[in-house]
Chains A and B, each alone.
Chain A
C-alpha cells in the first residue's frame, strides 16, 4: 500500500512540469543549442548588414534596440510553438494527456503545468539571447540581467494564449493561421523592429493592445535602464491577459479531455 499522501497542488504542477523538462533535456544538444545559435545569426545579419544603414534608434545603437526586442520574441516563439503544435500532438496524436489523467492529476493541473513550462522555456530562451548579446557586447550588462524574467512572463502569456487557440483547433494545419496571421504581424508592430511611437497617432493605441508590446517595453527598459511608472501597467497587462486566456483555455480544453 502506498504510504504517500495525495500530492499537493504545487507538487502536481511540479510533476507535470518535470515531465516536460525530462522530455526537453533528453535531446539536450538539439534542443539546447538553437536558442544560442539564433541570436548569433541575427547579430551577424544585423551587425554586418542592416546596422550599416540604420545606425541608431531611440538614442541607442540600432543593433541594441533590436537585440532588446529579440530577448522577448525568442520567448514568444518558443512558448507559442510549445503550446500549439506541442500541446496538440500530446492531446490528439500521442494521447499523452489521456494517460496522465489516469494518474492523480486534474485537467487544470495539466494546463497550468503547460503554462509554467512555457514560462520556463521563455526564461531559458531569453537567457540564451542575453548570454550571446552580452558576450558580443551588444547590450551592456546592467539591469539587463533580469531580462530572462521578462522572458518568463512572455512565456506564460503566449503559453496561455496559444493554449486557448489550441482549444479551438481541430486539425494541426490551422496553426499556420495563428503564426502568420497573429504572431508575425505582432513581431513587426509591437516595438521590436521600430518604436511604437513612430507609428501614426491613430495606430499607436492599437499597437498597445498587442500582447507582445508589453514585454518588449519591459525588456527594453531593463536593457537601457530607462524606468518609469508606466512599466507597472505593462506588467499588469501581461498578468491579466495570462490569467484571462489561461482560465478560458483550462475550461475549453477540459471539455476536450473529459467526455
Chain B
C-alpha cells in the first residue's frame, strides 16, 4: 500500500469548554480527494488549520499528526511548502492588483521572477482570469476572487491542496467551473482535502468523505457506499402545508420510515412504490419523490435541529 499523505490519530482540540475536535482519526492517500462534511461549528476549519500549523492541537501522548512525514507543530514550513491552502475567507491583498497578489506569493515560495511570470500566466488562463491580470481586487466578482485564491494556492505546484469551503456563496456556473478545474487537477495526481457543507459538492468530487458532528467522526467512506449502507434509496417529501397537516397523523406502512421533524413529514423507503402509495391523492407540486442523497444521510446523522454554533 502507498504511504498516506496525511495521517491523523487521536486528535483533540478545545476552545475553553467547547470541544472543536474530539478524538479524530483518519488517513488520506496520494491523489485522493477527501471531503470533510459537517454543520457550521463542527470543527472542520480548525482541523484544516491544525494540519498546516496555524492552529495548535491539544498535546496528548497518543496524538499523532503527520503530513508528508512532517509534524505541523515543528515543521509547519515544510508542510506549507508542499501544500496549497484556500482558506474560508479569500483574504486577498486589497492593496495590490491581481498580478501583484500572485507575485507576492511567488516570492513566499522562493520562485524566480521568470518562473513566477510564466506560472501566473498559465494559472490565470486555467481559471479564466487572463483579462483581469491588472485589475484591482475590489473590481472582481465573488467568483473571480475565489478562483484567484485557488490560483494563488496552486502557484508553486503543490502536492496537496487544502480547500476550506471552496464554493460557499458562489453561483452555480462558478461552482461547476471550480469543480471541473479541481477534477482536472486531481487527474494530474494532486491530493485534495476539502471541507464543505454542500452535499452535492462532496458527492461530485470526493473519493472518500468523513462526516463530522460536534467534533467527532460520525461516518467515513466513499459517498455512494455510505448512501447504500445507511439510508433508504428513496425519499418522499410533502411540500404543501395543508397536505403536510393531513398526512402527519396518517398510519405509516411497513418498510417506510417517517421523520416528523419540522411539521412536514419526510418518508424514506427502499421501495419507491410504497412511497408512491402514500403520495396518492396529493396534487401535483404538493410532494416531491426522489432518490435519497448525501444531504438526507447528513441530516439523519447530525439531526435536523440547529446546535448552538450554527
Please give the residue numbers on chain A whose beta carbons come within 8 Å of chain B beta carbons, in ascending order.
1-2, 4-7, 11-12, 14-15, 18-19, 22-23, 26, 94-96, 98-106, 257-259
Contacts and interface: CB of A to CB of B under 8 A. Distances in A.
B94 A94 contact: yes
24 contacts: A2-B109, A2-B156, A4-B109, A4-B111, A7-B108, A7-B109, A11-B110, A12-B108, A15-B108, A22-B103, A26-B96, A96-B91, A98-B87, A98-B89, A99-B91, A99-B92, A102-B84, A102-B85, A102-B87, A104-B77, A104-B80, A104-B108, A105-B80, A258-B54
B153 interface: yes
Contacts of B85: 102
B278 interface: no
B77 A106 contact: yes
A154 to B, nearest CB: 24
Contact of B96 (A22, A100, A258): A22
A120 to B, nearest CB: 16
Nearest to B156: A2
Given A2-B158, A102-B87, A259-B54, A23 B109 contact: no
B87 A4 contact: no
Contacts of A102: 52, 54, 80, 84-85, 87, 153
Contacts of B103: 22
Contacts of B87: 98-99, 102
A105 B100 CA distance: 18
Contacts of B96: 19, 22-23, 26
Most buried by B among A2, A23, A95: A2
For chain B, give the interface size range.
35 or more
B111 A23 contact: no
B158 A15 contact: no
A2 B96 CA distance: 25
A106 B109 contact: no
A18 B109 contact: no
Given A99-B92, A106-B77, A259 B108 contact: no
A259 B47 CA distance: 11
Contacts of B153: 102
B207 interface: no
Nearest to B158: A2
Contacts of A104: 77-78, 80-81, 108-109
B81 A98 contact: no
Given A19-B104, A22-B96, A99-B87, A6 B81 contact: yes
Most buried by A among B76, B85, B100, B107: B107
B183 interface: no
A98 B91 contact: yes
Nearest to A8: B110
Contacts of A18: 104, 107
Interface in B48-101: 49, 52-56, 76-78, 80-81, 84-85, 87, 89-96, 100
Given A96-B91, A104-B81, 11 more contacts: A4-B110, A12-B108, A18-B104, A19-B107, A22-B100, A96-B93, A98-B87, A102-B153, A103-B108, A104-B109, A105-B108
B157 interface: yes
A26 B55 CA distance: 33
Q: 6 closest Cβ contacts across the A-B interface?
A: A102-B85, A99-B91, A15-B107, A103-B108, A7-B110, A95-B91
Nearest to A14: B107
Given A19-B93, A96-B91, A259 B55 contact: yes
